[in-house]
Amino acid sequence: MSPNPPREDNARAGANPASEAILAEPVADAGSDEVPGSPQGRSFLFFFVLAWFGLSLATGTIGGAAIPKVFAFLDDDTKGLNLSITAAIGGIVVMVITPLFGRFSDRTMSALGKRRPWILGGALAGTVGVVVLAFSGSVWMVVLGWIIVQCGFGAANAAVHALLADQIPKRIRARVAAVASASAGLALIVGASLIAALPNGAQWSWFIVPGALGALFSALLFFGLRDIVRTERPAPWKWSDVVATYWLDPVRYRDFFWAWSCRLLVTMSIVSVSTYLLFFIIDHLGVPAEEASGVQAITLIIFTVGNIIMTILFGWISDRTGRRKAIVWASCVLSAAGLLVAIAAPDITMFMVGILIVGAAQGAYVSVDIALMTEVLPTFEEAGKDLGIVALSYQLPQLLVPVVAVPLLAIGGGENYTALYVAAIVFAVLGGLSVLPIKSVR
């Protein structure tokens, strides 16, 4: 397949120029089974999922395992505060850049296409941040490297997510999203296992290995995608467009607002658990820091096994039945139940049982979440921008959770992870309730 697709008028690749007037009409709306992109080769879905996996491996491993491990060895007494500062700053950065890069992607007029330049360029920029992290020796060097990683891989991630609206028909979207989400769960296992297996004295490898894999898999999608090439010049950029990049009217687009709120709250629940998982294992379960990465890897394996099984199962069920809301609501309740088990666990075994329940619940949730979000988009024409706003719902928790965690962890003298997990339960329940008012999706 040629990496240089034929030019189009912001519609379908391979279109006949004689039909330009027809193609200038609005593209398919988000509720239909049509997509604006061109037919893809057989390898496209494989490369799409592989890139999704690679970007999740890079950002998830670095943010969830490598950086916490650096702080645990750098200064054990301040590791929680250092991680909160780093996660909060990184969260602010990624919130700003993701919708903006998504909108720039929508407007891109390159012979390479709308998404491909951002996929490759973002991966290369992210790799620069990985190198900074690999040789960082202070908190602020870690913060700088994490900012660059978030900007680079965040740009690539925004473009990859936009392909769900550009290239994936509604009839298979839940299944494709389920497999992609399952790959992200698998990335957690692979990433945690990598960090546990790599030498404690080789900090550079904790970052270079997952970062290089993320960049490589993104490059494969770059070469395997037949992208939309925009030839119709977009309207001139105005300052009001900057505000619109981060905003959709919640009154006019109520279903989008409720779906967005649901994802925000559910993500806050899971981020509350995942961000501080290593420290919970060390401080709450009493595992030595030298052994904690191994226990974390086993915990994530258990989480991901339940996650993948339920993701694939409920993705199939959702596409067969056309139902999304009931699955979301039930998964949120199950996640809250699993967190209760984890909090009350007297030992590592029962804690892992609770995490297995949470993983299964999250699998059921993510199997339909992305499909639901694409079905409440206003249009596909600005899918990059709108999915950038969607991305805020799982990036904002990277900022909010560390801010909320600081006073919660301080309750009772410090390191109060029970209070943090209770907050995670509340977030899960509120997320389940938020999906109920949605009208346009069953």
Question: What is the model's pLDDT at position 37?
Answer: 58
For the domain spanning 39-434, the CATH number is 1.20.1250.20
Can you tell me whether residue 347 is helix, strand or coil? coil
Cβ neighbors of 59 (< 8 A, separation 6 or more) are 149, 150, 153, 154, 157, 214
Handedness of CA 86, 204, 213, 296 (dihedral sign): negative
Would you say 84 and 402 are in contact if contact means Cβ atoms under 8 Å apart? yes
Average pLDDT over residues 208-235: 91
Element (H, E) at 206: helix 203-224
pLDDT digits (tens, 9 = 90+) for 343-392: 888 888 999 999 999 999 988 887 787 777 777 777 666 666 677 777 77
Would you say 300 and 433 are in contact if contact means Cβ atoms under 8 Å apart? no
Residue 120 — left, alpha, or beta (φ > 0 → left; ψ -120 to 50 → alpha)? alpha
The residues that bridge with 8 in the sheet, in sequence order, are: 230
Would you say 367 and 326 are in contact if contact means Cβ atoms under 8 Å apart? no
Give the orientation angle of helix 254-275 with respect to helix 417-434, to 10 degrees: 160
320: pLDDT confidence band, cut at 50, 70 and 90?
confident
pTM listed for this prediction:
0.69
Distance CA 150, CA 146 (A): 6
* Nearest C-alpha neighbor of 376 from the set 64, 165, 132: 165
pLDDT digits (tens, 9 = 90+) for 333-349: 999 999 999 888 888 89
Would you say 318 and 327 are in contact if contact means Cβ atoms under 8 Å apart? yes
DSSP conformation class of 19:
G
- Rank 37-41, 78-82, 133-137, 163-167 by mean pLDDT and report only the highest: 133-137
Distance CA 173, CA 180 (A): 10
Distance CA 176, CA 198 (A): 32
Element (H, E) at 291: helix 289-321
